[in-house]
Chain A
Amino acid sequence: MDKLKPDRGLLKIDENECKGCGLCVEACPPKVIRIGDSLNHCGYRAAIYIGAGCTGCGICFMACPEPGAITVFRLVDRRATAVPVPHAQVEGAVSCASN
């Protein structure tokens, strides 16, 4: 793994909006989401980001039935000042723990 290459994406899951259905876990291509161990306010085991490896593809976002349970962030490419983010997947990443 190239430690110098940061993750292209970053995931945030709102623990109390999540209903623990697991659809995001199933959907995530690099499998960087899992169902957590603790129960949330509603008694569901909320999904959590494992902390590294998100590509920012956004697939989990569309698979999730809750409006704002998932937010997908993408790395801003400072070298290219242009806004668009390239689509190619990037392997290896430093972790960016959010959950």
Chain B
Amino acid sequence: MSSAMDLEYTAAQSKPKAFYESFERKEELRHQTHYCPGCGHGIVHKMLARAIDELGIQDRTILISPVGCSVFAYYYFDVGNVQAAHGRAPAVGTGIQRSRPGSIVIGYQGDGDLSAIGSAEILHAANRGENITVIFVNNAIYSMTGGQMAPTTLLGQKSTTTPDGRTAEHEGHPLHMSELLATLSAPVYIERVGLGDNKQIAQAARAVKRAVENQVRGLGFSLVEVLSPCPTIWKMPPVEAQHWVRDVMEKTFPLGVFVDRTKESRPRAATNAAPALEEIPRILGTRDEDADAIDDVPALRAQEVDLHVRVSGFGGQGVLLLGEVLAEAGMDAGLEVSWLPSYGPEIRSGTSNCHVRLASSPIDSPLVTHPNVLVAMNEPSLKKFSAGVRPGGWILYNGATLPAEYERQDIRILARDFTREADTIGDPRAANMVMLGALLEIAGTLPQASIDAALRHCVKQPKWIDLDERALVLGRSLCKQFLERGAA
């Protein structure tokens, strides 16, 4: 047929540009996806890639891959990619869209992902009318994990968790997410399409493009639910699975447009871009001086600090504040710190406590079960925590003498009526700061400037600051006396 040679043909339909040329995931055949033969995910990917091409948005599109068979979508789409935890794509998408206005954010989710574990996220993102696009691939089953029932599984459909078929009595009815979301006021466009035959596929491609285009126009939340074959888990040859979408699945999930407010919607006002990372502490008000101060204290970091402190007492004794001032001072001095208050019903009566760590290297856990300093502001605290104190460590006890049953030879114990000591300088409620003073004397590492700054950060009232400063001084001197006596 030599005449054919003279004819000129041009590619009219070919691999969309929004796909990578080569998919790095595999060792070989890097132009193939990981999907099973006849999988609907591949078809939906292609529609989406073509819509991205046609709308000219590849360089500002951010795709959120889900958990499920399509978890690797980021290996295929040559756009910005984020992989979200199971069901969280709408929340992640909200964050991305709000912090990077002008991006085209597309959440790609399966039915397990969107309608089970992620049912809250999708509901609220839709209700807020986030300017994102959600492509919801409904294959009526958890495929990736081997075929457990999804909220969308049809009545009578067998799954590994409904081996005799789903029943309404035991497992409830299939969840109609599109209809459910359509009851909300904010979404601009919700349509259910299918991949059941050529006509359905053509309509699905149009809907996917529209849903993305709405976002390009800034209109708000759009979702397309795609009834999609999973030949492998459904245990059907691909063509049969395709027809099952049209002949069976569609009866439970009717196709159609459930919301279309694109005509009356006005483009949403663009949000402001997210602030730079360096600006965040200032915005949160966590640091008034700039972070450069950290560089002033490399010496302290170099000194192997590893303080594990447990502070415990009655609610109202200022246990949490004591820990907070200590942690703040450590932070100001450039150390790694953690402060973990232990709330609960105890905050009103009984013992209240907190865990504080100060370290020159990163902190593995904020829990302090074996303190090297226990600050016990009452006897119940001793009972609860004294046995855990590390050998070589300290107990600071608020009581004139330590009850005999808590005596230990392998630790140092400073027992003193700190409440009465605080009373002598003006207020028994400053006992916590007297004890902190003693603790600072033991720890010995923190610069006074950091302690002053921390006190001002945590205690707002000037009259208390003055009292607390005196309390700290008193605590230090009580500790010094104790050490001198011990040495003598």
Contacts and interface: CB of A to CB of B under 8 A. Distances in A.
Q: Is the interface of A mostly helix, strand, loop or mixed?
A: loop
A17 B32 contact: yes
Contact of B13 (A17, A41, A61, A75): A61
Contacts of A99: none
B465 interface: no
Interface in B190-204: 198, 201-202
A66 interface: yes
A81 B205 CA distance: 30
Contact of B198 (A25, A27, A44, A95): A27
Interface in A27-50: 27, 29, 41-42, 44
Interface residues of B, number: 41
Interface string B7-46: 1111111111001000000000101110111111111011
Nearest to B44: A65
B80 interface: no
A72 B14 CA distance: 6
A90 interface: no
B41 A85 contact: no
Nearest to A65: B42
B276 interface: no
B238 A95 contact: no
A57 to B, nearest CB: 9
A75 to B, nearest CB: 6
B42 A66 contact: yes
A76 B12 CA distance: 10
A16 B29 contact: yes
A74 B42 contact: no
A20 interface: yes
Contact of A96 (B4, B36, B39, B41): B4
Contact of A26 (B3, B8, B49, B242): B242
Contacts of B29: 16-17, 41-42
A62 B8 contact: no
Contacts of A9: 9, 12
A63 B198 contact: yes
A70 B242 CA distance: 19
A72 B37 contact: no
Q: Is the interface of B mostly helix, strand, loop or mixed?
A: mixed
Contacts of B32: 16-17, 19, 42, 66
Given A62-B43, A62-B202, A68-B31, A26 B13 contact: no
Given A10-B9, A17-B32, A41-B29, A63 B15 contact: no
A35 to B, nearest CB: 11
Contacts of A70: 13
Nearest to A44: B37
Given A23-B38, A62-B202, A67-B42, A74 B10 contact: yes
A67 B16 contact: yes
A68 B239 CA distance: 20
A27 B91 CA distance: 38
Contacts of A22: 38, 237-239
A67 B202 CA distance: 16
Interface of A: 6, 9-10, 14, 16-17, 19-23, 25-27, 29, 41-42, 44, 56, 58-59, 61-68, 70-76, 78, 85, 94-97
Given A71-B15, A95-B1, 7 more contacts: A22-B237, A22-B239, A27-B198, A59-B198, A65-B38, A74-B12, A76-B8
Q: 4 tightest A-B contacts by CB? A: A65-B42, A68-B15, A21-B38, A73-B9
